[in-house]
Structure 1
Amino acid sequence: MNTKLFLITVLSVFAFANAKPNDNSKKTIQMEKVTFNADGLVLSGHLYKPANFDSSKKYPAIITGGSLTSVKEQMAGTYAQRLAEKGFVTLAFDYRNYGESEGQPRQFEDPELKLKDLQAATTYLLSLSYVENVGALGVCTSAGNVAYLAAEDDRIKAVGTVAAWLPDESVLPMLYGSEDTIQKLREVGLEAKKKFANTGENDIILAYHNEDKTASHVGPMEYYMDTTRGGGVKEWKNELSVMSWGPWLDFDPMSKAKEIKTPFMMVHSDGSALPDNVKKFYNDLQGEKELIWGDGYHFDYYDQPKQVNLAVEEVSAFFSKNLN
C-alpha cells in the first residue's frame, strides 16, 4: 500500500493565483466542442488538447466528470483544462439529461445511464487516431460513477477520484434522517416517474440549498449558492428531477471497490464527504492504489487553488505513470 500524507505549499498556491494570462502552456491549450453518441442520444463535450499538440503522435486521454447535476463548464472543465496543461488529451462532457446533451427527462439522475455515457465517452476517445490509452477522473458524484466504469470496462487503464462521494446503504439514514424518510422519498420518486410516463410532466425540485428543506441536498452549499463560483455558471441548473430519488438512493459505488483491479488514486480530506467510506473503499480496491490525504473542505476541491493544485499535481503524475 502506497499511502501519502501531503500538505500543499504556499508557493504552489501563489503560482496558481498569479499565473499570467500569456503563460505559454495556457495560451496554447486547444479546446473544441465535440459530440458523440450514447444509446442514440447526442452528448456534448469539450475536448482539450495539450500545448504543441501533434495529431500524428499518440497521447494518453482522460475523461473528467463532476458532481450531481453539474455540467462540463464546472469542475469537470476545470480539471480537464488543468490536465491538458500537463500534456493529456482530456474530455469534459455533459451526461445525458444535463447541460447541452440530449436526453429526457431533463435533470434526471441514474447511475446506470451515466455508466453507459462514460463507456460511450471511452469509445469516442479511443476512436481518435491520436489517443493511445484512456483513464477517468471523477470529482464528487462522478467519483462513484467512474468506480462503476472501472469495475465494468477494462478499456480504462487508470482512475482518479477527487473529493469522492461514495455512499452505500449504511449511510443513507444518516444522510436523510431515517429509514421512513428514505422510503417516502422512494415513493415520491416512483409517483413522479408514473406522472412523467402518463403526462410527460417532469416534477422538479431544487438540487441544492442552504436552508430550503424541499431541496435534495440541504446544508452549507456555498459553491452552488455563490454566483462567483459554481452558482454563476450559466449552463448549470440548480434542479433535480423528482423521479431521480429511486436510482439516486440505489447508487452504491462502495460495492464496486472489490471488483476494481485498475490502478486507482484517491484524493480526499477529513473535511470532504464521507471520509470513512473513502478509506474503506480504498482498502477494498484490488489493484495498484494510492491515497492522498489533503486538507480543506469538500467544495474546495471543485475550484480553490490550493486543493485543485494538490489534486492536479498528484493525479497527473499518477496518470502519466499508468497511461503512457
Structure 2
Amino acid sequence: MKLLAAAALATSALTGTAQAATKIPVTFESDGETIVGDLYLPDDYEEGDRLSAVVVTGAWMTVRQQMAGRYAAELADRGYAALAFDFRNWGESGGTRRQFEDPQSKIADIEAAAKFLASRPETDEERIGGLGICASAGYMVTASLTSSVIRSVSLVAPWLHDTSILADIYGGDDGMDALVRLGDEAGQAYAMTGQQTFVPAASMTDANAIMYQAPYYTEADRGMIADWRNEADPGFWRGWLTFNAIEAAPLLKQPFLMVHSESAAIPEGAHRFFDLVPAQKTELWLEAVTQFDFYDQQGPVTTAADAVARHFGETL
C-alpha cells in the first residue's frame, strides 16, 4: 500500500513533544563488547507495565544522541519503550577499532539489542519492533532476517543500496575501486601497527571528508553535538561497498513500513527494495523532505514518528 503526504501534514502531531519521555541508561553485551544505550519510556510509565518496544538505530557514523535518540524519544512519547544505543566502536560503547563503520558488526549489535530489549521488565518480549534510519536501515532489515525477537520493521529515510546504485554514487567502477584501495591501505596499516588513520566524517571545507559539504553534521545546532566525534576510519570502504542491503528485501517476512521522500537519499533504492518485499507492507512518501530534514526537523520527524507508531500499533 502506498500513501502520499504533503509536507504541510507534518505540522499535525498525534501526541505531545518528545521531551516527555523518561530516559534510563543501560548496558548490554554484543560479541563480548559492552554496548551503552538509553532506554526511553513514556513519562507516565508505571512499574509492572509491559510495553511494546522498539530498537532504534541511526545513520552511519553517528551516536545514539543524534537521530536514533530523537526517534526513540518520539516513540516513547507515543507509548512505546524504545532503545537507542551506540554501536561497538562508536560513542561510549566498547570496541578497539574506533570510528569504524562495519556493517556486519552493526547487524550483530542490532540482534543483541533486540534480545536485550525483549529481556527487560518494561517490555513485552512478544512485541518487539525495529526502526532503522538512513544507512542503518539496511542493517536493521538484515538483522531482522535472523533475529528471533524482531516482529515488525519500519524504516525512515532509508539508504538502501546494491552495487549498481553505489557505482552511480561513487563514480562508477573506477571510483569504487579507488575507495576500496584507500580503505585497504588503511586496513593494512592498522593490521601492521595497531594505529588507525582518521579522516573527517563530515566537513564543509575538507574534500577528504567522507561526507563533504553535508549539512546537519556540520551545524552546531543540529548534528554537530559534543557527544559525536567527527572522525572516521577510512578502512571501512570495502565492507561498505560490498554490503548489499537490497538483497534482504525478498527474504523479509515481518510487516514492513517505509517512510521516505523523493527529495531524500537514493529513492531509487527504496523503490526497488519495497517492490521486492513479499510481506505485508506500506510506504509513505513525503513531499520535498530532504534526508537531513528527516533527522531533526519537527515537521518531518513528527509525521514519520506518527506513521511508525501506527505501524507498530497495528503489527505488534
Question: What is the TM-score normalised by the length of structure 1?
Answer: 0.92
Q: Which residue in 1 is equivalent to 2:206?
A: 212
Q: Which structure 1 residue ranges, 4+ long, deviate > 6 Å from structure 2?
A: none
Give ranges in structure 2 of 5+ residues lacking alignment.
none
Q: Does 1:310 align with 2:306?
A: no
Aligned-partner Cα distance in 1 for 2:222–2:149: 34
Q: Which residue in 2 is equivalent to 1:87?
A: 79
CA contact (8 A) 1:82 1:312 kept: yes
Aligned-partner Cα distance in 1 for 2:43–2:203: 39
CA contact (8 A) 1:79 1:312 kept: yes
> Offset of 1:213 from its aligned partner?
2.3
**What is the identity, as a one-letter code, of the residue corresponding to 1:35?**
T
Q: Which residue in 2 is equivalent to 1:13?
A: 11
Aligned with 1:302: secondary structure? helix
Alpha-carbon displacement from aligned partner over 1:110-130 (angstroms, at most 9, x marks no partner): 111001100110111111123
> Offset of 1:4 from its aligned partner?
0.9
**What is the identity, as a one-letter code, of the residue corresponding to 1:13?**
T
Aligned with 1:222: secondary structure? coil
Q: Which residue in 2 is equivalent to 1:222?
A: 215
> Offset of 1:211 from its aligned partner?
4.7
- Spell out the pairing of 1:232-251 with structure 2 (5 A cutoff): 233-251=225-243
Q: Number of paired residues?
A: 312
Q: Which residue in 1 is equivalent to 2:90?
A: 98
Residue of structure 1 aligned with 2:65, choices 59, 73, 95: 73
- Spell out the pairing of 1:168-207 with structure 2 (5 A cutoff): 168-207=162-201
Give ranges in structure 1 of 5+ residues lacking alignment.
none
Aligned with 2:300: secondary structure? helix
Q: What's the Cα RMSD here?
A: 1.7
Aligned with 1:34: secondary structure? strand
CA contact (8 A) 1:151 1:257 kept: no
> Offset of 1:289 from its aligned partner?
0.6
Residue of structure 2 aligned with 1:163, choices 140, 157, 175: 157
Alpha-carbon displacement from aligned partner over 1:250-290 (angstroms, at most 9, x marks no partner): 12111110010111100000111111110110010111110
Question: What is the TM-score normalised by the length of structure 2?
Answer: 0.94
Residue of structure 2 aligned with 1:38, choices 16, 30, 37: 30
Aligned with 2:199: secondary structure? strand
Q: Which residue in 1 is equivalent to 2:274?
A: 282
